[in-house]
Each structure stands twice: as structure tokens, then as C-alpha cells.
A and B are shown apart, each in its own frame.
Chain A
Amino acid sequence: MAMLSELLKFNVIDADRRKARLTDLEVALLDDEYPRVTAIHFSSNGSRLRLEWEAVTEVNSSAREIRVIDLKAGRKVSEKKGIVGVLLKHDVLDALIIDLLSRRTTRATDLRLDVSNDSMELKAVDTGLGAMLRRITRGAFRGGKKRDMFDWKYVEFLRGDPQAVDSGAGYHMRIGRLPAGEIAQIADYIPYLHAAELLTLIPDEKAALVLQAMSIERQLQVIEEFHEEQAVALLTLMSPDRATDLIGRLHVPTMKKYLTLIPVKQRERIIDLLRYPEDSVGGVMINNTLCIGDGTTVKSARQQVRSHSKERDFIGVIFVTESANNKTLRGTLTFRALMDAEDEEKLSEIMDPYVVTLNPQDNSVDAAYRVMTGQIGAMAVTDPDGKLIGAMTIESAISQVVAPGSALNSVKVFS
């Protein structure tokens, strides 16, 4: 084992005893959980040179030497040219990293590598005070605590470049395994370019969930960093109410452009919601509710729920209407009641006809309290003719009453 700060004091020596100073180590982040060093960088006669790891014959820790076949085989590199992988000193040291185990950010103060004669592997990141002292004292201080070491396997290293993935940069991609809300919590306080980069590491469906769970200010910064195509894909996958909040805050030309690019169904939902002020029920409701005609049998209703469950944002409450085409509200039905009922029963027999509704122009906070104190999963929003136009869900209600900036602002657990 050796620390990068110590390795950077090593000399590179070839068979003819020519000597150069090691300046950096290059790794291929994509190759393994613990990336191997693939090249060494050294300076010789004022030039920055690179040698493939295959040229290394021995790493002699006690003599602080890396022996290579021929130093002259080194190829000149510059910051823009000749570097294939990631440089440990230049790119990783002092960079912001995410420790997935503790779900927090920190800075890589030193790096621990597994050193053997024929290979070097990046094993851990040292973030402690000991590492700082080690670097400042140029290795005179040798202490450090084990608890400050983060296993590289559970570290995500971000470059602050949202286009880095497109340029072939390597990542662990383990961050995608965390729940969307936890990723959003991290993305909320790291620099916005890092947050945008983070989203590119996650499959689109999850990225949309993460995006809508972030604070609205952060959503805006992030979406503006994406390519048009990427932004439209995420807006399409977001729930209509959250997509509306975001698109309503975009600069007007961008907003108009995205509205033309979003697929028709989602576009119409968003345009519909954009017609209401932000502080009204219409401004916070969802409008892709699941509604089924009251003459439908339970069996058929279950099939409809199954086939529409993916495209609907909330299926905890099913709204029973006069028919599939006539959205006049007749009653509501919980998901549980639908599961409990007999196959041949009709919805009109099992639904709750005593429904309380909201008007889209009602104040959103007052309505939120009605939903929460009434302990209703979702309250129907109807037009003057009693036709269902949307629903205020318990999630929208919570977001209306919690303090701005709270993590509960974007809770999405009932959907």
C-alpha cells in the first residue's frame, strides 16, 4: 500500500540509469471497481511525458523508485492531447467526491494505492486531517485514521462537466442504485454542473424522478445544462405537475421550444396545467388521473389499472366517472377497495359516491390542508359542469405546507 502523496516523490529510472521525476499516474476508471494504473507521467528536461504501465519493470518502495525499460520511449503529452484516462493528481486529488456509503460529499485529500511489482490499483480515498498534514509536511507526518478512508468502490468522482459522459469518461454508476430522493438530496447542494453530470449517469426514468425531487431552483440550473433532446426526454418522463412547475420557469423562448418538442400527451397535460396560477389548485394538481366509467366491472377495471399504471402518476385513488368519454364525476374508489371486490361487481356498486371536490381556482394551501386533514389520498378537481379535470394528491398537498427548501417539498412516495 502507498499513498499518492508519497508516490509523487518517487523517481522514474530506466535501465541506463536515466532519471526523471514522477508527476502523475493515469488510471482507467471504467476498467474495474479498483482502477488499475495504466500509465505513468513524468517530467524530463522540462517536458511532460507519458509511458504505458507495460514499460514499468519494478516498483521499489524502499528506494522510492519506479524502474522502467527506457525513459526515452515516453511520449509527450499536454493537458489537451495524449491523455487517455484520468490523472490521479491532476483530476482526482482535491476534487469533490461523493461517498455513497455516507451519502455525502467530501474532497479527496490523498489516494491510497495497492502497489505490487507488476501493478498499481486505486483502492481508497483519504479525506482526513492526517492526509492534509501528510501533504503539507511532504510526507514527514505519516499518521491518519482508518475512518477517514473511503473505499473507492463506493466513491463517485464527478468532473463538473455535464458532457463528460458523452466524451467517454468513466464512472462507477453505483449512484444509480440509491433511491431517487437520496440522489436528489446530494444533487441539491453540490455545484450545479456536478449535479447535471450526476443525472447523466442515471437511466432516464430514474433521472426524471431525481430531477423532480430536487429544489426547483436546482432543477432549472440542471435542465439548462442538458442538450435539448435530453431535456425534453426528462420533461416527458416527469409527472405533469412537476414538469409544469419546471417548464413554467424556463426562459420564455426555451419554454415555447420545449413545448413543441414534448410528445403530444404530456404536452397537452402541461399546457393545461400552465393555464392556472402557481398558487391555485389548478397550478399544483395532477391531470393524468386514472378514471374509469361507473358501469365497468371490477375485473375490467383491474385490467385498465394494470395497463395504465405506468403512464399515470398516481393510482392510489381511482376516479369513477359517468363513462370513459364523459368525465362527469360519480364517485371515488381506493386501490384497496378495487382489489377486495368481486370480479363481476360494477364500480357504481362499490364506489364511494360521497365525494368532496376542489375547484381549480381554489387556493392551493387551503386545499392542501383539506386533503391532509381529510386524510384523503387525492381529492378530485372538477370543472363547473362537475367534470373531472385533475386531482390534488397528498404529495402536492404536503409540498404546499412544508417550509420552502425542505426535503419534503418534493415527496413522491405514494405515486
Chain B
Amino acid sequence: MKSRKEGVEGLEPIANIESAGLPNIPSTVPAAIHINYRGRRIKLRGLRLPPKGIWKWLLVLGPGLIATSAGNDAGGIATYSSAGAKFGYDMIWVMVVLTLSFAIVQEMCTRLGAATGRGLLDLIREKFGIAWTLFAVAIIVVANGGVTVSEFVGIGAASELLGVSRYISVPIAAVGLWYLVIFGSYARVEKVFLLMTLVFFAYPIAAILGNPDWGAVARGAVVPSIRFESEYIFLLVGVLGTTITPYIQIFQQSSTVERGAARKHYGQERLDAYFGSIFSNVMSVSMMIATAATLYVIGQHDIQSAADAAKALEPVAGVWAGTLFAIGLLGASLLAGGVLPLATSYAISEAFGIPKGVNLDYRRGKVFFGLFTAFIVFGAVVALIPNIPIFPLLVGIQVLNGVLLPIILVFILLLINNEKLTGELKNTKTYNVLGWGTFAIITLAVVVMLGGQILEKFGIDLFAK
């Protein structure tokens, strides 16, 4: 008689076929746990066993790292590079202080998402009503639409630095991002976005290639210095506004919800938020160091964009430094080019109660995916218009985001302290002190920025030129 596994099965009555003799119970069960049952020790599948080794840390990473890294986009690179080129290492301390505030804000959003299972705009609509929601949505749509354009401009500029025409790279990037979100699951989108964050390592390498004075770097990081010059103040406010931006909070909370974080086992997500904020700001500081060590030293202070920085770095720090900067810009713009339209689609869907989420199939998520598609198309098409005045646009966007940011921060703080919503996950006193402190700093910065711009229109300069 032949073995059952050699094809006789189904041709002869089963009663006449001999078994292949394969073992019944597998000897190894992945991620196994043991239980004692009726005197027997049984090995069972337990998929929630805490991961070990490096996986323990890597598997924690997700929305926090993605959202905060997306903040280092084309506009962010331009601001940080400009800060380094103009003021050397003098602004690094700002980033050190800001890291704490950034981490606090991002963690609160993560906690709010896990505690309520709802996005930020969901909660704003439910707790603060339609008027505030529409106000926030209107600003988010305009500001994020504009920043999305700047991301595709960044993709085009970076690809041209690397020798590929923007008319090729921008459409490919747009289609690639669109395909990833429309046809992928959240888990896949998260993996791809996480991989994209690796590109930020180009900046520390570029900084090292710039051969900085590490002693001066350390001094810049721990000794605060403020110059009462309009350029310094505006750049300082710019650094603040670029680091803590509404779309980062919106994306972090919504994607935490979509990842399936739950209030009963909240903990790991906190590490993600902290790590993301630190990682993102270390990269920002690297950009400052790279330009401070090279461009500031030779007196080349005027950096208008991230592409300018990459171009300027080449003759000073070598071809590799410039190329790395360009690669970083490409990766950062790609990441933000995906995150921004997603954050906007989340926000609009939440505000109006529309089914949302990357995990939805297209049939159920028509509006959500339609919004995402519209933002990608808008960003890519506008970015390809020759000589588009992106800088005046970005200044306007910065103002809009500046207006929205304190309001969003107040909402976050009020919501996280609403015990009915967050229960045991509400803010501790320390968190509240740090949270409201951040709000105060941000509001002051926004008032200075807006006030300064208004007064400038009337010919009054608050600070020395």
C-alpha cells in the first residue's frame, strides 16, 4: 500500500490507505506559552507574548516615529538648515528644550487616541461643537493643502539634485504614495513609512562630514543664548512652529487609533511617542550642525530652501554631504507627502463622522480615499507648475498653523483632563504643568510672530535688524 501523501488519496477508499505518518502535533509552536491542563503540560500559541531582544523596542515604533519624522519635511529642513547657517550652533539649545515639550504634546495625543478610540477632530466636534470644528478643519485643509504642495516641490527639487527631472519624479511619487494607501493595509503603510524614516540618518552623517567643532556644539546645546534681533526671533519662532505643528498631532492620534491601541494596555505607545520626538529632534539638530559647521563658518548665511542647503553644502563639505542632504530631503518630502494628505483626510472624516481609515476597503471608504486622492493630485499638479511662488505660500501657511496651534493645544489639554473621556489615563499634575507650559511658550511665540508681522506692515520693527 502506498502512503496517503503520494496521491492515492481520493482514488482508493480511505479505509484502504496507509497513513503517511506525519506527526500530529508540531514540535515547535511560535511564540509558545505553557499551561498545565488536566495534569498535562501543553504548549500553546500565545501571540501576545512580549517580544524579546531588539524586537521588543522595534515593534513599539509606529505612529509616533512617523508623525514626528514627518515634521522634518521640506519646510522643516529649510528652517533648521537656515538656523544653522545664520546663527551657527546658537539655536541648538532651543531644540533641546523643545524636545521635552514636543514629547509631552505627542504623548498626550497618543494617550487620547488610546483612551477614547477617537481622533482629535472626532473629540473636538463632540466636545466643543461645530463652530470650532469647522474653524479647525478650514485651517487644516488650507494649511495642509499648501504644505502638501511644498512636499512635492521638495520631491522635485531633491530629485533634480540627484539628476532626475521633477516631471518624472513628482508623478511617480504621487502615484506610488496613492497606490500604497489605497491598496495597502494600515500595517503595510506603517511599515513603508517607518522604512522611510531611515533616510533621516543621512543628516547625522552629513553633519559628521561637515567636521563640526563638537565642543561648540555641546556649548550651543546647554548654554541658552537669545539675540534680540528680528531675524533671530523670527527664526526661533519658525523653529518652534516647524517642530510642533497641528498636522503632526492629528496624524499621531488618528494613526494610534487605527493601529488598534486600547486603553487597557496603554504603555508601549508612550515609548513610541517619546522616541519619535527625540529621534526627530536629533535629526533636526543634525541639520543645524551640518550647515553651522560649513555654511555659517564661511559666512554663507542665506538659505532659502532645503535644496539650497544641499547645493551649498557640496562645495564646502564635499559631494557626499550635498548628496546625503538631497537624499534626506527626498525621503523626508516623500514621507510628509504621504502623511499630510492622510492627516487631512482623517481630520475631515472625523469632523463629519465619515467612515475613515486605511484599513477600509474602497467601497466603504470612498469619501476618505477620495479626499486622500484629491490632496495627492492637488499637491503633485500644483508642484509641477513652473515658477510657483512657494515661499510666500509657506509664510502664509506658517501664519495659519500658528493661529491653529495654540487652539489645538488647548483642546488637547482640556480633552486629556476630561476624566469622563480618559479615565485613568488623564493627565498627571506634572504633565499638566509641562503641557500648559508648552502652551504658554507656543502662544507667546505665535503672538510675537503675528504681532511682528502686523507691526512690520506698519513700518514698526520690534527688534533690531
Chain A residues with a Cβ under 8 A of chain B:
93-97, 104-107, 109, 127, 132, 135-136, 160, 185, 189, 191-194, 215, 217-218, 220-221, 224-225, 248-252, 255-256, 259, 271, 274-278, 280, 282-283, 328-331, 353-357, 359-361, 382-386, 389, 403-407
- For residue A224, which residue of chain B has the nearest CB? B264
Q: Given that A193-B116, A250-B48 are contacting pairs, would A354 and B11 also be in contact in the complex, using a CB cutoff of 8 Å?
A: yes
Could you give, for residues 82-124 of chain B, a 1 whenever the CB lies within 8 Å of some chain A CB and a 0 otherwise?
Answer: 0000000000000000000000000000000000111000100
> B45 to A330, Cβ gap below 8 A?
no
CA distance A194 to B365 in the complex (A): 19
> B19 to A385, Cβ gap below 8 A?
yes
CA distance A384 to B20 in the complex (A): 7
- How many A-B pairs have beta carbons closer than 8 Å: the answer is 167
B13 at the interface (CB under 8 A from A): yes
> A191 to B353, Cβ gap below 8 A?
no
Contact pick for B355, options A107, A132, A189, CB 8 Å: A189
CA distance A259 to B45 in the complex (A): 13
> A132 to B126, Cβ gap below 8 A?
no
Contact pick for A389, options B24, B133, B134, CB 8 Å: B24
Q: Given that A221-B260, A331-B13, A355-B9 are contacting pairs, would A191 and B46 also be in contact in the complex, using a CB cutoff of 8 Å?
A: no
For the complex of A and B, list the 9 residue pairs with the smallest distance between their C-beta atoms, beginning with the closest: A107-B353, A191-B117, A353-B13, A192-B117, A217-B260, A274-B44, A383-B24, A356-B10, A355-B14
B352 → chain A closest CB, angstroms: 6
Q: Given that A193-B116, A354-B12 are contacting pairs, would A96 and B353 also be in contact in the complex, using a CB cutoff of 8 Å?
A: yes
Q: Which residues of A contact B198 (CB under 8 A)?
A: none
B30 at the interface (CB under 8 A from A): yes
CA distance A383 to B25 in the complex (A): 9
> B9 to A220, Cβ gap below 8 A?
no
B360 at the interface (CB under 8 A from A): yes
> B49 to A136, Cβ gap below 8 A?
no
Q: Given that A217-B260, A331-B14, A384-B19 are contacting pairs, would A278 and B361 also be in contact in the complex, using a CB cutoff of 8 Å?
A: no
> B122 to A191, Cβ gap below 8 A?
yes
Q: Which residues of A contact B351 (CB under 8 A)?
A: 107
> A252 to B117, Cβ gap below 8 A?
no
Q: Which residues of B contact A353 (CB under 8 A)?
A: 13-15
Interface residues of B in 13-46 (CB under 8 A from A): 13-15, 17, 19-26, 29-30, 33, 35, 37, 42-46
CA distance A93 to B130 in the complex (A): 9
CA distance A248 to B32 in the complex (A): 10
Interface band, chain B: 35 or more
Could you give, for residues 341-373 of chain B, a 1 whenever the CB lies within 8 Å of some chain A CB and a 0 otherwise?
Answer: 000000000011111110111001100000000
Q: Which residues of B contact A218 (CB under 8 A)?
A: 260
A129 → chain B closest CB, angstroms: 10
B131 → chain A closest CB, angstroms: 6
Q: Which residues of A contact B185 (CB under 8 A)?
A: 403-405
B125 at the interface (CB under 8 A from A): yes
> A359 to B15, Cβ gap below 8 A?
no
B129 at the interface (CB under 8 A from A): yes
CA distance A250 to B352 in the complex (A): 33
> A248 to B117, Cβ gap below 8 A?
no
CA distance A405 to B186 in the complex (A): 9
A201 → chain B closest CB, angstroms: 17
B450 → chain A closest CB, angstroms: 24
> A271 to B37, Cβ gap below 8 A?
yes
B139 at the interface (CB under 8 A from A): no
Q: Which residues of A contact B365 (CB under 8 A)?
A: 189
Interface residues of B in 127-152 (CB under 8 A from A): 129-131, 133-134
Contact pick for B45, options A107, A278, A382, A385, CB 8 Å: A278
> A384 to B23, Cβ gap below 8 A?
yes
Contact pick for B14, options A95, A104, A354, CB 8 Å: A354
CA distance A353 to B16 in the complex (A): 10
Q: Which residues of B contact A354 (CB under 8 A)?
A: 10-14
- For residue A348, which residue of chain B has the nearest CB? B15
> A255 to B187, Cβ gap below 8 A?
no
- For residue B16, which residue of chain A has the nearest CB? A353
> A94 to B125, Cβ gap below 8 A?
yes
Interface residues of B in 227-271 (CB under 8 A from A): 257, 260, 262, 264-265
B344 → chain A closest CB, angstroms: 18
Q: Which residues of A contact B15 (CB under 8 A)?
A: 328, 330, 353
B301 at the interface (CB under 8 A from A): no
Q: Which residues of A contact B354 (CB under 8 A)?
A: 105-106
Could you give, for residues 169-206 of chain B, a 1 whenever the CB lies within 8 Å of some chain A CB and a 0 otherwise?
Answer: 00000000000000001110000000000000000000
Q: Which residues of B contact A283 (CB under 8 A)?
A: 45
CA distance A353 to B10 in the complex (A): 8
Q: Which residues of A contact B257 (CB under 8 A)?
A: 191
B2 → chain A closest CB, angstroms: 14
> B117 to A106, Cβ gap below 8 A?
no
B4 at the interface (CB under 8 A from A): yes
> B262 to A271, Cβ gap below 8 A?
no
> B14 to A256, Cβ gap below 8 A?
no
B58 at the interface (CB under 8 A from A): no
Contact pick for B352, options A106, A135, A405, A406, CB 8 Å: A106
- For residue B25, which residue of chain A has the nearest CB? A275
> B116 to A361, Cβ gap below 8 A?
no
CA distance A196 to B380 in the complex (A): 41
B19 → chain A closest CB, angstroms: 5
Q: Which residues of B contact A355 (CB under 8 A)?
A: 9-10, 14
Contact pick for B22, options A220, A259, A331, A359, CB 8 Å: A359
- For residue A185, which residue of chain B has the nearest CB? B364
> A406 to B361, Cβ gap below 8 A?
yes
B261 → chain A closest CB, angstroms: 8
Contact pick for B46, options A96, A194, A248, A359, CB 8 Å: A248
CA distance A93 to B131 in the complex (A): 13
CA distance A104 to B366 in the complex (A): 12
A267 → chain B closest CB, angstroms: 9
> B47 to A278, Cβ gap below 8 A?
yes
> B45 to A274, Cβ gap below 8 A?
yes
B50 → chain A closest CB, angstroms: 9
Interface residues of B in 387-441 (CB under 8 A from A): none
CA distance A399 to B49 in the complex (A): 24
9 residue pairs from A and B, CB less than 8 Å apart: A109-B130, A132-B134, A224-B265, A256-B35, A331-B14, A356-B10, A359-B22, A383-B24, A406-B361
